[in-house]
């Protein structure tokens, strides 16, 4: 029985001795199928398939369905709950109690790849994941439901959602606040409904070649969904929120003293943020240190001790505003539809 356990963990058949020469995933003759031990292949949505055998092949799991006469089928590896599959085999097929330590992993390389992929789109609220193709988003709540709102960049000629463009602007540390940017239109298209929204800024660019500059402005082609691939910000940047001077047809962004940020010295209309890197190093979370009043704001990146990024992200705070058009809503897991593999 121990031999059977090793074979099933390796993703092979568990045949009797007379079938030792059979290749993995060969279909057994009808008269021989009784000697194959059935087990369950669990999916991450909680459902399972009764199988005669299974094996990991790249990014898919191939298996022989016990319910469909040993027909060869496959399912994406990312949808399969391998620990639950192994645990069920130990408890119900092998007859041994489930191991108390960490369940075995069939492939450490694939497990690491899966963890890295999950870090690109972390879950920040129940069933709500950060998307891989957008550079900056705000976590808002509309009518009791959390949602992610893309925050486009003002001033960049690139894709305003996926590109994190940097236009450095030097600020004289001794000068008093003065106008550095005028945004046409009196209000932002993005209107948030909570006083303390969280902002998520993509860090770095996974598609940059080795040695690429953190401040390169390059979208490097398009993603599989047709959108520009995202460009992230520098991990060393810091961010502040400024309440802008709203006028009849524009909004005015003023300078501030960078050296006073993160000190005890307060500056008018400037709100500092708490910064936190999410696991995996792909995202930075920003939270204002105080609630935001109703009004118009910009998120400003500080790129050095004397420069800010003039390509800012604008938004408003209005609890009675309509829902944002491009808001990303939570999506519950749906049962996986399995397809028969074509010969």
For residues 236 and 220, state if they share a domain.
Answer: yes
Shared-domain flag, residues 110 and 12: yes
Domain membership flag for residue 107: yes
| Model pLDDT, residue 298 | 97
Alpha carbons 59 and 11: distance in angstroms, whole number: 14
Q: Is residue 324 part of a domain?
A: no
pLDDT in tens, 120-147: 889 999 999 999 889 999 999 999 999 9
Tell me the pLDDT tens digit for each residue of 101-121: 445 445 666 666 777 777 888
Query: Are 168 and 106 contained in the same domain?
Result: no
CB 124 within 8 A of CB 308: no
| Residue 39 φ then ψ, to 5° | -145, 180
Q: Last residue of a domain, which of 96, 117, 138? A: 117
Distance between CA atoms of residues 132 and 13, nearest Å:
38
Domain boundary pick from 70, 98, 117: 117
Q: DSSP string of 108-144?
A: HHHHHHHHHHHHHS-EEETTEE--TT-SEEEEEEETT
| Co-location of 190 and 82 in the same domain | no
* Residue 339, domain member (yes or no): no
Give the closest residue to 173 by CA, choosing from 237, 242, 258, 241.
258
Regarding whether 238 and 289 lie in a shared domain, the answer is yes
Q: Quote the number of domains for the chain.
A: 2
Same-domain pairing of 164 and 276? yes
pTM over 0.85: no
Measured between alpha carbons, how far is residue 3 from residues 13, 49, 58, 61, 62 in Å?
Answer: 11, 23, 25, 22, 21
Q: Is residue 50 in some structural domain? A: yes
Q: Which two tokens stand for residue 284?
A: 């930075």
Contact 217, 275 (CB under 8 A): no
One domain for residues 143 and 265? yes
Looking at the structure, tell me whether residues 266 and 176 fall in a common domain.
yes
User: Which of 84-98, 145-159, 220-234 shows the lowest mean pLDDT across its residues?
Assistant: 220-234
Which pLDDT score is estimated for 16? 35
Residue 262 burial (CB count, 10 A) = 14
Contacts of residue 85, Cβ cutoff 8 Å, sequence gap at least 6? 39, 40, 41, 42, 54
Asked if 84 and 126 sit in the same domain, the reply is no
Which residue range forms the structural domain that includes residue 188? 121-317
CA separation for the pair 61, 77 (Å, rounded):
5
């Amino acid at each position: 029985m121990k031999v059977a356990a090793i074979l099933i963990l390796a993703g092979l058949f568990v045949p009797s001795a007379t079938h030792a020469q059979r290749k993995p995933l060969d279909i057994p003759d009808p008269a021989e199928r009784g000697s194959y031990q059935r087990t369950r292949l669990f999916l991450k949505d909680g459902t399972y398939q009764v199988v005669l055998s299974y094996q990991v092949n790249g990014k898919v799991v191939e298996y022989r369905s016990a319910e469909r006469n040993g027909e060869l089928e496959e399912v994406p590896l990312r949808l399969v709950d391998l620990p639950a599959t192994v645990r069920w085999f130990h408890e119900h097929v092998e007859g041994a109690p489930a191991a108390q330590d960490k369940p075995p992993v069939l492939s450490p390389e694939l497990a690491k790849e899966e963890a890295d992929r999950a870090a690109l789109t972390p879950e920040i609220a129940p069933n709500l994941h950060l998307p891989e193709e957008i550079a900056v988003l705000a976590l808002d709540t509309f009518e009791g439901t959390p949602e992610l709102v893309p925050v486009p960049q003002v001033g960049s000629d690139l894709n305003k959602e996926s590109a994190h463009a940097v236009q450095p602007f030097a600020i004289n540390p001794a000068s008093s606040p003065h106008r550095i940017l005028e945004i046409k239109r009196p209000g932002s298209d993005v209107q948030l409904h909570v006083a303390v929204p969280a902002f998520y800024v993509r860090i770095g660019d996974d598609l940059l070649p080795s040695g690429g500059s953190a401040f390169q402005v390059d979208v490097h082609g398009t993603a599989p969904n047709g959108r520009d691939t995202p460009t992230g910000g520098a991990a060393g940047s810091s961010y502040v929120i400024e309440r802008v001077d709203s006028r009849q047809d524009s909004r005015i962004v003023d300078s501030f003293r960078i050296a006073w940020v993160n000190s005890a010295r307060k500056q008018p209309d400037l709100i500092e943020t708490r910064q936190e890197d999410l696991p995996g190093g792909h995202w930075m979370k920003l939270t204002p240190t105080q609630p935001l009043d109703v009004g118009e704001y910009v998120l400003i990146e500080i790129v050095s001790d004397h420069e800010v990024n003039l390509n800012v992200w604008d938004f408003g705070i209005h609890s009675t505003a309509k829902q944002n058009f491009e808001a990303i809503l939570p999506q519950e897991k749906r049962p996986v539809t399995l397809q028969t593999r074509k010969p």
